[in-house]
Amino acid sequence: MKTLHFSKTINVSADKVWNTMLEDETYRQWTTAFTEGSHFKGSWEEGAKILFLDADGQGMVSTIAENRPHQFISIKHIGIIYDGVEDTESEEAKKWAPAYENYTFTEKDGKTTLTVDMDIQEEYEEMFNKMWPNALQKLKELAES
């Protein structure tokens, strides 16, 4: 696994970026950069289980490893969902898990730098290197509007 790093400065407070990033309605909008119909089911509370899904219900099984509101959130991916079935045991699931996706929100002078650190299999590096900048730009536009 490799860790990818992305960041974007957004011209609003950290709480505005946080809320735009994690609230259901706006989450669905900025994550279209990854796949149409992207959404989550579950809670962002520390220790909670959360599912990240596409329009067909495929995706990732995760838990919230850490949550410091408006500062930091850590997602621990523990498995995959295929045909509606959660899988944390197969070889395919173990390729992905455990993997962490961390978001750090640093506010200064009314602007927030959002930093994303994401563990990824090297075969998906190029794809995420293209998708994340687009996703962060969409998030910036939503937060600043």
pLDDT digits (tens, 9 = 90+) for 10-26: 999 999 999 999 999 99
- According to CATH, the superfamily of the domain at 2-144 is START domain (3.30.530.20)
Q: What percent of the residues of the chain are helix, what percent strand, and what percent coil, each to the nearest 5?
A: 35, 45, 25
CA distance 136 to 129: 11
pLDDT band at 106 (very low <50, low <70, confident <90, very high): very high
For residue 121, what pLDDT is reported?
Answer: 87
pLDDT band at 67 (very low <50, low <70, confident <90, very high): very high
Distance set, CA 107 to CA 40, 46, 72 (Å): 26, 22, 12
In eight-state DSSP terms, residue 97 is: -
Mean pLDDT for the chain overall = 96
For residue 84, what pLDDT is reported?
Answer: 86
Show me where the domains of the chain are located.
2-144
